[in-house]
Chains A and B, each alone.
Chain A
């Protein structure tokens, strides 16, 4: 960056040539009053406060839109400048609520700051007319209010919603002095398309947009968000052992952004329904017990059900340390590899598929690289709902001139920002991508050099492409060929290109094939091993990456060291001082089946909720009824925990130390902000106590940091990680040594396969297991709401989120609604071969004709009663994205 010299009020300064005069002044601690300036936003120059005079230019100029120039001589004050500032300021105050002491923004208000600097002539001000009528306060949103009587119309909120969020929920309405900030039709935030992210609220310089809970915390603790896999960092504000707010942190992951859940979804921590004491089921009822009594009982029972009679569900919501201890307990104390967690239901195909093609099953690139991607191919990801902060980066990439291709059966929100929308039929992802690749090859757009040097098996793969003619692809996917061709061209020629996907790819009986199609596409075009490229599975849970990394899987120890690898086993046997089973254990779905067959008799479940999350969940309920001994460990009494014999109260993320590993492989600190609620305890502590009660060695941990040290010792990809090193910022694995800086993107020089080469995988088209037929004519696919998370154990304990979305909605196309004579908001019954649920109808063309959609957040309408548990043969993931249903009127 070129430097320029300029003088401001006689002070000589040097600054970057791309700065504005205002930026240059502020960064050199020269104050120029301003109200509409915000460093994250494009300047607009509407407040007229930042006027300066520049030698050689007539009159006054706004400094926020004036670029610095070499030799510029700037004056920040003069009689005319003061006239302008005072006029504007006095006018603003004449139309502003004059009640600072009762304002939430008192002492943090930019208007106060500017007023103190510029000054108001009281005598003149007293003569000004104060005729602005009171405008009704919009307090419809559960988390914040808009008081137009305090608004100075700087437009920062409007620009935030437009420029940063791409939501456009608010804009200016009316004209002149009647101008207001308004939602569409001025109906209030609750009825608008506002996503309640609160980004406008945090940026509002005055008291117009303020959080409803405006208490000031006694102290703040920096930690990592417990919701999705993005892993946003924020500060929890604490007062009297209660979380009262969260404030975003600026870092490489979220750069100061948060979504509605991250910013406002903390209330569950202090919810009155939290489990506060161990519970033992006696005569069918839960009775409170002491820790000692509960642990004794568990130790005694578990001792009876070791090895193949035992299984454990670990949790992607828990810390790495928790997961490490749980899998160690399962393997060391219970002598079995029967451990799995909900990754089985989300990204098992990613782990299985990418391990085949790249040798490592994780997001290849980093969140911070997204904004520089030229072509984003987002397939099977409803990013704005499921990974809102990553969606922001995608929108930024579009603003930066990149282009977004969305492939999805549903016209999701992200389509608004897309250059191209490919609406393929559910379950035809392989065909769509193979078709694109076939076209790329026919045009010679493949990266021949990359293919030759860094891949293998290309020939076989190429032959498999011949089955995917454009005719076939067009017919099978339902996407017009022009769009397929255009997408192929963009992806192959407008580089760097990057693939993003989520459950739309994985939750299929051919989920692994889908994943392989993405890796093939990246390899073919050479879009891997470079910045802003890659295959980027977006991990769902806050620590699903970590739970996998920690070996809460039946076939691997931590760091994907295979249990059937003799060397790896030997290493662990040495470290843990015990003989280990070399056979892979059962997977999530297989464990349920084994319980159903009474082969597994005891289950230790740490923070899972399969009654709502598992496909064909009636089957889960049937199985759980048959179990001999079931221990559930959670923060709330979940729908699944109801079936337990012993329930153990766990501390939430806000009450314990540890680490989460986010979707981009970044190991980040989780910090204790408050004391555990009631008698709840950190999960690692509880598991260790059970182990100790069972006289096991190697569970003498005193804190989470010690556990991480053991993880680092035994896990090559985590070897360089310690609490000390990640104090300020997380590290991305592989981080093999104590001075390694972590890995921004994978496969730079070679792939993680044995020979270092990536493998093309030939693919064939496989239909989904259950497609619509005469009896069940509609295809049901599943989705997420931005306001809830997974089975809503946390989010439905946040009153505001519940207010924003309190019921399941069956999304159905108007054509289908007409055919089945359904009305909007009508309650109907959705029936599949496995069960039925009641749900409210929402008629929308988000869904194409023939496809209906549900989330699975609501126990009142448990969607997974309907879904199909047919599994992918490789990854063992159930097909929750496609099943056949019918809709019946009640």
Chain B
């Protein structure tokens, strides 16, 4: 079938969906939705509409980004705007059917916002609510809006226009367009995409490969997963364009096996695109052929490093190889290979669905376009966001994220995952772009943003990331293999009160040596969390070492639990719940904690009735007088 006809059909189907008399219900059923119970919502909706004899379309969609509001349901009903509802439970689903769909009585308190498709409404515009307003959704434009398992939905939203367009271009023209767009690699390092492509295109060799790096391994990062689950065709379109530009006929998507849903969606998308000759031999009748294979990674963090990823595809142990030669010159099976991140390739699709100028209107002079981030940690509105580059960290955390919950104070934000650094409150005004982040000692990374509040111990954060890095170090080069463990050992000593003041210098020296000496990006960035926390929170290290106290009350060895005598009523609950019998006291008399026995499990504090709140945690340690005599 001719592609234009395919697209016409798609438009018809899409229009039917959002303009028909039959209501359409979209339920966010990506991994985040599912963990919040979206599958039950879908089942309930199907059951209830059937019970009520209501004819309607119930479709699954991806994640729209507001994970904290999942399960999210979106309903189109003729005469009403497209309305998004949050935190829909089983009963809410029943209510939506009965009161809204049948009786026109909306569930106002559940409405997030609407997309005003020609229908006037007093309800807030979805894209104007505080969490959405600063965002610019280019890459994520379809996520949560279309059914990712339906190619027609993608096609009806400018899908594969880019592919049709570039088949009339020369590879040089494509690269020129990408250059003009200012797109830089979204995997973290920010290397100009067009330049990388040029290396590969100009490299000698009859066989070239394109690899999409979907080995998203940073703790707390899920940008790639969401896109693959919510809009897999965007990635494929970007890959086809990139392959055409560099002259590759084979592409791989290296995706972790821990993303089962993403893999299912991706496989289906490849099958659909192949059926419509968007992938395969002589794409849309051109001379260009391109095939995509999926390689499931076993979950080693280091396999996100491009040379280790290549080794893994080749069937070798996933260990990095020194560069040069760079993969663009000698990569997979020693052939010129381009490895791009999911986000980068999806951006490519958008650039060619629109144009370079359109893309480059967003961002700063050196960092163009948008970037998706997984905003997590101590922030009210957790989820997936997409912002224009150059936005400040403050806007992201306080405007989009809604700030720190529970009235706590903001302490730091960690960008770039285990490879990144912690940015303190005083630097929150810096713009989010590659250069500015590097200047303060961190990196853009692939898009993890972890917000920390006053209860976060920065030494413990450093320890956490080092623990991750040393476990994920492949063991190949000495600085990373031994250095990350050495730094972890030192940090563990510090967090357990056994640190020496000289250890701070030692950590800094080791950190710098490891950064400069390590073979791959893992080791070259692993010390960042330590170095930035020393840089911005040195006092916390000193507190741990010199005063043997953890002011954030996290490090167990440097805190103590105590009963406030004035508040204790002797209810005896804590006495009964203490697993090590460290609490003494007769009922109705003030109780005491024996600090020698206490294992700081916190059960007593949890069990102490809130009306008393008699147990508190303090930094440091308490010397109990006369305790031995008891």
Q: Which chain A residues have a beta carbon within 8 Å of chain B's beta carbons? A: 44-48, 51, 59-60, 62, 65-66, 80, 83-88, 91-92, 94-95, 124, 127-129, 131, 152-153, 155, 171-172, 174-179
Contact = CB atoms under 8 A, between A and B. Distances in A.
B513 A46 contact: no
A127 B510 contact: no
Contact of A87 (B322, B471, B479, B489): B479
Contact of B479 (A88, A95, A152): A88
A175 B471 contact: yes
A83 B322 CA distance: 19
Interface stretch (B39-47, B69-77, B411-419, B480-488): B480-488
Contacts of A94: 482, 486
Interface stretch (B134-142, B432-440, B515-523, B561-569): B515-523
A135 B500 CA distance: 29
Interface in B455-507: 470-479, 481-486, 489-490, 493, 500, 502-503, 506
A128 B510 CA distance: 10
Given A172-B319, A176-B470, A91 B486 contact: yes
A129 B478 contact: no
B235 interface: no
B516 A46 contact: no
Nearest to B502: A127
B334 to A, nearest CB: 12
Given A60-B516, A84-B513, A128 B486 contact: yes
Contacts of A129: 486, 489-490, 493
B141 to A, nearest CB: 38
B241 interface: no
A867 B543 CA distance: 84
Contacts of A175: 300, 471-475
Given A48-B478, A80-B516, A87-B514, A176 B473 contact: yes
Contact of B477 (A46, A65, A124, A178): A46
A94 B517 CA distance: 17
A127 B503 contact: yes
A152 B317 CA distance: 19
Contacts of B475: 153, 172, 174-179
Contact of B481 (A62, A131, A177): A177
A48 B514 CA distance: 10
Nearest to B473: A176
Which 4 residue pairs across A and B have the least CB separation, nearest first?
Answer: A87-B513, A179-B475, A84-B517, A91-B482
A177 B475 CA distance: 6
Interface of B: 300, 317, 319, 321-322, 324, 470-479, 481-486, 489-490, 493, 500, 502-503, 506, 509-510, 512-514, 516-519
Nearest to B523: A48
B135 to A, nearest CB: 36
Contact of B516 (A84, A95, A131): A84
A152 B481 CA distance: 11
The B interface is mostly helix, strand or loop, or mixed, namely helix
A608 B503 CA distance: 72
B478 A88 contact: yes
Given A48-B478, A152-B478, 13 more contacts: A45-B322, A60-B517, A83-B513, A84-B513, A87-B483, A88-B479, A91-B478, A91-B479, A94-B482, A131-B489, A153-B475, A176-B475, A177-B475
A59 B300 CA distance: 28
A175 B300 CA distance: 10
A178 B470 CA distance: 10
B317 A171 contact: yes
Contacts of A176: 470-475, 481, 484-485
Contacts of B490: 129
B517 A48 contact: yes
User: Which residue, B321, B471, B473, B479, has most C-beta atoms of chain A within 10 A?
Assistant: B479
Contacts of A83: 509, 512-513, 516-517
A153 B475 CA distance: 8
User: Which residue, B473, B474, B477, B506, has most C-beta atoms of chain A within 10 A?
Assistant: B477
A131 B481 CA distance: 14
A62 B322 contact: yes
B479 A84 contact: yes
B501 to A, nearest CB: 11
B471 A88 contact: no
B419 to A, nearest CB: 16
Nearest to A49: B478
Nearest to B513: A87
A46 to B, nearest CB: 5
A112 B473 CA distance: 26
Contacts of B500: 127
Contacts of A84: 479, 513, 516-517
A870 B263 CA distance: 65
Contacts of B506: 124, 127-128
B500 to A, nearest CB: 7
Contacts of A95: 482
Contacts of A124: 506, 509
Given A46-B519, A129-B493, A175-B472, A153 B513 contact: no
A47 B478 contact: yes
A87 B475 CA distance: 16
A182 to B, nearest CB: 12
A175 B517 CA distance: 19
24 contacts: A44-B321, A46-B476, A48-B477, A48-B478, A48-B519, A59-B516, A66-B324, A83-B513, A84-B516, A85-B517, A88-B479, A88-B483, A91-B482, A92-B482, A127-B503, A128-B506, A129-B490, A152-B478, A153-B475, A153-B478, A171-B317, A175-B300, A176-B481, A179-B474
A45 B517 contact: no
Contacts of B510: 87, 91
A84 B480 CA distance: 11
Contacts of B486: 91, 94, 128-129
A62 to B, nearest CB: 6
A178 to B, nearest CB: 7
A114 to B, nearest CB: 11
B473 A87 contact: no
Nearest to B480: A176
A303 B587 CA distance: 119
B483 A91 contact: yes
A471 B58 CA distance: 63
Nearest to B302: A175
A467 to B, nearest CB: 44
A53 to B, nearest CB: 11
A51 B514 CA distance: 13
Nearest to A174: B475
B519 A45 contact: yes
B216 to A, nearest CB: 19
